[in-house]
Amino acid sequence: MNSMLHLINKSPFERTALDSCLRVAKAGSSILLIEDGVYAALKNAAHAIKISTRMEDFSFYVLGPDVAARGLGDTPLIEGITVVDYEGFVDLVAEHEVTQSWL
């Protein structure tokens, strides 16, 4: 089995990328939220439960530059999500054998 990093770049309010990823991804995988995917990381948003209930199954990360760009730098994120920058994004790709983008 290869270790996997899943990339989600879509808002959970608009698309099913996160739902599909959570349905199909193997427990133990990592999930990085980028671009509009960062809206899934907001603690007080309607979709927060999708991630907060799966903390045991996956390691969640969010791309800080995309959070900041959207004015969310001061908005609470779900506890347990790790904020990374682009170099952290590269490290995650390097640490996992395969990266899958949920376009």
Partner 1 sequence: MEEWEESGPEVVKRFMYVNRRAPYGTIYALECLEVVLIAAAFDQDVSVVFLDDGVCQLKKNQDTTAIGMKNFSRTYGALDDYDVEKIYVEKESLEARGLTADDLVIPVEVIAADDLRDVMAQQDVVISS
Partner 2 sequence: MKFGILINEGPFTHQASDSAYRFAEAVLARGHEIYRVFFYNDGVYNCNKLSEPQSDDRNLVALWSKLGTENGIDLVVCIAAALRRGIKDEVVAEGFRISGLGQLVEAGIEADRLVVFGD
Which residues make up the interface to partner 1 (CB under 8 A)? 1-2, 4, 16-17, 20, 23-26, 29, 97-103
- Output the smallest distance, CB 94 to partner 2, in A: 6
- Which one, 34 or 45, has the nearer CB to partner 2? 34
Which of partner 2, partner 1, none lies near 89, with the C-beta cut-off 5 to 8 A by kind? partner 2
Structure tokens at 49: 């439960």
